[in-house]
Amino acid sequence: MSRRGTLGGSLALSDPAAEYPACALALEATIVLAGRGGERRVAARDFFRGLFETDIRAGELLVAAEFPRAERSLFVELARRQGDYAIVGLAAVAGASGRRFAFCGVASTPVLAAGASRAATLDAALQALRQDLNPSADLYHCAATKLHLAGVLLSRAWNTLAKPH
Ligand SMILES: Cc1cc2nc3c(=O)[nH]c(=O)nc-3n(C[C@H](O)[C@H](O)[C@H](O)COP(=O)(O)OP(=O)(O)OC[C@H]3O[C@@H](n4cnc5c(N)ncnc54)[C@H](O)[C@@H]3O)c2cc1C
């Protein structure tokens, strides 16, 4: 009996609280799907379609996921206890092509915070985040709490990525 989940399994499951889908979005990964009709490649931004729903069609398998190399990246999350699913998580990438911030735990799919990703300052990014995210409440946290926590994570990630190597 295997006790290890796979990267492909996590991407294919598309749990909105899972970390790998947010990483795939932030890193602009390409998902490779194969079926009897051949292989097709789907950008991560088009792959996650809804709650536990992806672009995988009947008869297809996810056979690879290609992650472009990132200059700087990090993942931060907030959970009640170590090992719990995150209340909110953030995959952050920074490099010559700019910054990208993708959140998990805030909607039915991972969400790329487009406005915050384009912002030039942390203050502007935090402002933009209010437009980027419209978090759904979960059993324990209301939407306002999730939005607040997303801002906390964004600040941490922004400041960490800004530090000299
Ligand atoms: C104790 C425990 C702790 C966990 N903690 C976390 C956590 O901290 N963070 C997190 O993100 N997730 C967590 N998970 C969830 C786990 O990552 C997912 O269940 C993931 O799907 C496991 O991968 P797997 O390879 O076992 O996939 P499976 O569970 O075997 O498959 C998941 C789904 O995807 C389909 N599938 C699997 N592989 C493919 C493929 N290659 N192509 C097409 N469809 C496929 C399966 O048919 C199934 O519908 C946890 C799970 C458990 C049991």
Provide the residue ranges of all domains of the chain, joining segments of one domain with +.
Answer: 7-66, 72-162
Which of 10, 40, 34 lies closest to 24 in space, CA to CA?
A: 10
Q: How many CA atoms lie within 13 A of 129 on its CB side?
A: 26
Ligand 1 pocket test, pick from 13, 15, 23 with the greatest ligand atom count within 8 Å of Cβ, gives 13
Distance CA 5, CA 23 (A): 16
Q: Which secondary-structure segment (H or E) carries 34?
A: strand 30-35
Q: Kindly state the DSSP code that residue 46 receives in the 8-state scheme.
A: H
pLDDT at 85: 86
- pTM value is 0.95
Question: What Rg do the C-alpha atoms of the chain give, in angstroms?
Answer: 16
Residue 19, ligand 1, Cβ within 6 A: yes
Residue type, 78: L
**Residue 8, helix vs strand vs coil:** helix
Q: Specify the CATH number of the domain 72-162.
A: 3.30.390.50
For residues 24 and 65, the answer to whether their CB atoms sit within 8 Å is yes
Q: How far does the centroid of ligand 1 lie from the alpha carbon of residue 13, in Å?
A: 6
Q: Specify the CATH number of the domain 7-66.
A: 3.30.465.10
Please identify every stretch of the chain with a pLDDT value under 50, giving residue numbers as ranges: none
